């Protein structure tokens, strides 16, 4: 977002992405024909309550549709075996046609070709005269007048050297947990959303696991079926027993939905805790908490007004969510432009 708005205002921008794909926690998977299959990261936005999201969905012409929640959920644990129970949906919660990756694609298509460099991890940001020097992990360097770090605060604090960054900011960065950084998400695809024929929402709330919360994740036209679930196993167990986890995910779906769940087209488990560009040792060491809006220092420039931070966790609006990410990028670009830089 910041790169797009700065580029639109005539600034030369370069986006240095450490991973082999752009999007970060937003990760929608597509098939070979470009059809959206599932979201490995975020799924929902809440446009009635998220003005920045609402505005950009309209500007980028991205359509939304309601999260399917017709029929009861299945509850297991909480003092009993699997049983039906209606669970309310959330007002205003929608999915995006093509997945949240559409936001990333649409913004990327509006910045110059070649501005995005993948597999280019920033390791150092340092003052150099009236510019900043950015060190990359292949030992190359880039000089820029301004730098926006739109990277998780804790991972940045742990892995990017920033000489001259005040101690207050460093301590603050370490204290800001990265939303969902230690989460694993399972997505399971079927030929059809068979649970709907049984009158079920496809939703599960479970104390038994391994998925503690499951939702229908089928496309709007339901031309195939999909479920996603948040995995309750701790990161060390997930990482040491990936095959056991896949088997347990399938076992849980068969236990709940019966033999119709036995033959998925695909099971994919995305473990965000394994991604060191997102998840830091501090995130792994703590019980995850939804980030609260942090102090103004997060939204102020550093290194004599040349370095800005603009990841979702810096936002005072919907901190840690997509809305926060869009807002952080937008307001940072506006502040840079307003300062005449
Ligand atoms: C499983 C899951 C479910 C979620 N569900 C929802 C949801 O339903 N709704 C919602 O609103 N939000 C949800 N979220 C949160 C949402 O995904 C994030 O708030 C949002 O995507 C953050 O975007 P961002 O661009 O600010 O940061 P990020 O997506 O974290 O992007 C940071 C980028 O910086 C790169 N990077 C990091 N370090 C470096 C470095 N040193 N050098 C170069 N590049 C680097 C990373 O590779 C990444 O691409 C979910 C997240 C997860 C993981």
Instruction: Yes or no: say if 53 and 326 are a contact pair by the CB < 8 Å rule.
Output: yes
Question: Quick one: CATH architecture of 28-99+182-274?
Answer: Alpha-Beta Complex (3.90)
State phi, psi for 91 to the nearest 5 degrees: -60, 130
> Domain spanning 2-22+104-179+290-338: which superfamily?
FAD/NAD(P)-binding domain (3.50.50.60)
β partners of residue 16: 117
Atom of ligand 1 nearest to the CA of 312: 26
d(CA 320, ligand 1 centre) in Å = 8
Give how far Cα 216 sits from Cα of 64, 75, 84, 86, 200, Å: 15, 15, 15, 14, 10
For residue 55, give every residue at least 6 positions away whose Cβ sits within 8 Å of its Cβ, in sequence order, or none: none
The ranges of the chain annotated as CATH 3.50.50.60 are 2-22+104-179+290-338
Atom of ligand 1 nearest to the CA of 320: 19
For residue 191, give every residue at least 6 positions away whose Cβ sits within 8 Å of its Cβ, in sequence order, or none: 224, 225, 265
Closest by alpha carbon to 236, among 280, 275, 274, 194? 274
Q: Each residue's pLDDT tens digit in the chain (341 positions)?
A: 999 999 999 999 999 999 999 999 999 999 999 999 999 999 999 999 999 999 999 999 999 999 999 999 999 999 988 999 999 999 999 999 999 999 999 999 999 999 999 999 999 999 999 999 999 999 999 999 999 999 999 999 999 999 999 999 999 999 999 999 999 999 999 999 999 999 999 999 999 999 999 999 999 999 999 999 999 999 999 999 999 999 999 999 999 999 999 999 999 999 999 999 999 999 999 988 888 999 999 999 999 999 999 999 999 999 999 999 999 999 999 999 999 86
**Residue positions counted in the chain:** 341
d(CA 89, ligand 1 centre) in Å = 24
Closest by alpha carbon to 309, among 179, 101, 170? 170
* 28-35: long-range pairs with CB below 8 Å, 24+: 28/98, 28/99, 28/100, 28/101, 28/102, 29/187, 29/268, 30/101
The ranges of the chain annotated as CATH 3.90.660.10 are 28-99+182-274
Give how far Cα 278 sits from Cα of 151, 159, 181, Å: 8, 11, 6
d(CA 25, ligand 1 centre) in Å = 3
- Helix 51-59 with 322-338: angle, nearest 10 deg: 80
pLDDT of residue 49: 98
* CB atoms closer than 10 angstroms to residue 49: 14
State phi, psi for 186 to the nearest 5 degrees: -100, 135
Atom of ligand 1 nearest to the CA of 179: 15
- Residue 258, phi-psi category: left (phi > 0), alpha (psi -120 to 50), beta (remainder): left
SS3 label, residue 250: helix
pLDDT of residue 289: 84
Mutate to test the pocket of ligand 1, among 41, 51, 279, 318 (most ligand atoms within 8 A of CB): 41
pLDDT of residue 92: 95
pLDDT of residue 341: 67
């Amino acid at each position: 977002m910041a790169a797009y708005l700065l580029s639109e205002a005539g600034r030369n921008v370069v986006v240095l992405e450490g991973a082999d794909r752009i999007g970060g926690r937003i990760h929608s998977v597509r098939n070979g024909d470009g059809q959206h299959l599932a979201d490995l990261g975020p799924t929902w936005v809440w446009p009635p309550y998220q003005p920045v999201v609402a505005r950009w969905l309209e500007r980028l012409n991205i359509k939304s549709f309601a999260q399917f929640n017709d029929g009861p959920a299945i509850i297991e644990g909480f003092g009993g075996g699997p049983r039906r129970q209606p669970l309310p949906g959330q007002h205003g919660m929608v999915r995006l046609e093509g997945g949240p990756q559409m936001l990333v694609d649409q913004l990327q298509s509006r910045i110059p070709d070649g501005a995005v460099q993948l597999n280019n991890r920033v390791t150092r940001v340092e003052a150099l005269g009236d510019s900043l020097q950015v060190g990359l992990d292949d030992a190359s360097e880039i000089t820029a007048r301004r730098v926006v770090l739109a990277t998780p605060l804790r991972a940045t604090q742990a892995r990017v050297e920033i000489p001259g960054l005040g101690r207050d900011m460093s301590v603050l960065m370490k204290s800001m947990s990265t939303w969902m950084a230690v989460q694993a998400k399972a997505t399971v695809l079927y030929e059809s959303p068979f649970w709907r024929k049984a009158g079920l929402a496809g939703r599960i709330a479970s104390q038994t696991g391994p998925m503690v919360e499951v939702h229908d994740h089928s496309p709007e036209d339901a031309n195939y079926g999909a479920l996603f679930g948040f995995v309750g196993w701790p990161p060390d167990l997930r990482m040491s027993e990936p095959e056991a986890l896949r088997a347990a995910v399938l076992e849980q779906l068969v236990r709940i939905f019966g033999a119709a769940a036995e033959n998925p087209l695909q099971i994919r488990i995305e473990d965000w805790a394994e991604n060191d560009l997102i998840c830091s040792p501090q995130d792994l060491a703590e019980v995850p908490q939804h980030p609260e809006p942090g102090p103004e220092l997060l939204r102020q420039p550093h290194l004599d007004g040349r370095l800005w931070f603009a990841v979702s966790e810096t936002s005072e609006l919907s901190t840690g969510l997509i809305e926060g990410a869009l807002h952080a990028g937008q307001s940072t670009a506006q502040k840079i432009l307003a300062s005449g830089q």
